[in-house]
Amino acid sequence: MKVEICNTYEEISKKAAAFIIEQVNQVPNSVIGFATGSSPIGLYKELVRDYRENATSYKDVISFNLDEYFGINKDNDQSYYYFMKTHLFKHIDIKKEHIHIPSGDSEDVLEECEFYNKKLAEHIVDIQILGIGSNGHIGFNEPGTPFDQKTHVIELDEKTRQDNARFFNSYDEVPQYAVTMGIKNILQARKILLIATGEKKADAVKRMIEGPETIDLPASALQSHPDVTVLVDYEAASMLS
Ligand code: F6R
């Protein structure tokens, strides 16, 4: 893993954006894996700014998001569909039919997982963006998730629900379940770009990079991937030896 320690969140966001912009300029029909949560918000702002200033086009880009809350429909302002729309997709020229986000309210969720795996199998993600949970999750692959699992439904950890309660009115409103790409899907990307900031992530970042590869810390699975770049600030890097 390549670890880059940056001075500010702005620097991280700009570096991450440069990565994506270079990829899309070189290969206009790139497949990009997007994440939600607070970590990539600065990156998406940079992409939107670049789109306005330099007209980098996403018209041939295909996107796959990592996850979606279960039991929430896409118009709900807490859905990851809504998140992606407001932070990125409505501001750029990506085509609606090129966007893939697991559906959180399909009638048959197992069928939805199968459908998502099928779509993923038809594409190779060029760059997968990731954040990391304070418990070491990637996507919503919580501790204990086998590394060979593909898209599945998962019960969210209490820690994850507590961490994400900041986006909701209360802890009780945080959904209990989610649909997430599996670690196996994530590892199939050609390149992985993980963003982590703040002291709360320091332990997970240390265990991801220096700890043993174990299902207790899902992000440690990235150790076996040949092309991972980790962009961190000093707080998130503070426990690295
Ligand atoms: C989001 C996702 C999660 C987040 C992680 C960190 O699509 O898959 O793994 O990346 O929970 O979230 P933030 O960035 O809000 O700290």
In which band, very low, low, confident or very high, does the pLDDT at 58 lie, cut at 50, 70 and 90? very high
Percent of the chain past pLDDT 90, that is, above it, reads 100
Using alpha carbons, select from 133, 74, 129, 128 the residue that is nearest to residue 105.
74
Identify whether 67 is a catalytic site residue: yes
- Between CA 81 and CA 65 the distance in angstroms is 9
CA of 57 to the centre of ligand 1 (A): 26
| pLDDT band, residue 98 (cuts 50/70/90) | very high
| All domains of the chain in start order, with CATH | 2-211 (3.40.50.1360)
Residues 114-155 have pLDDT tens digits of: 999 999 999 999 999 999 999 999 999 999 999 999 999 999
DSSP codes of every residue in 196-225: E-SGGGHHHHHHHHHS---TTSGGGGGGG-
CA of 61 from ligand 1 middle (Å) equals 22
Q: How confident is the model at residue 233 (pLDDT cuts 50, 70, 90)?
A: very high
Is 4 labeled as catalytic in the residue annotation? no
| Residue 225 a catalytic site member | no
Reported ipTM: 0.99
Catalytic residue among 46, 50, 67, 126: 67
Active site residue 135: yes
Residue 82, Cβ neighbours under 10 Å: how many?
17
The predicted pLDDT at position 139 comes to 98
- Average the pLDDT over 49-75 and give the result: 97
**Which pLDDT belongs to residue 19?**
98
Confidence of residue 50 (pLDDT cuts 50, 70, 90): very high
pLDDT per residue over 174-206, tens digit each?
A: 999 999 999 999 999 999 999 999 999 999 999
Q: What is the pLDDT of residue 77?
A: 95
Q: Pocket residues for ligand 1 (CB within 6 Å)?
A: 35-39, 66-67, 131-133, 137-140
pTM for the full model?
Answer: 0.98
What is the mean pLDDT of the segment spanning 207-231? 98
| Candidate from 13, 38, 39, 79 with most ligand 1 atoms within 8 A of CB, to mutate | 39
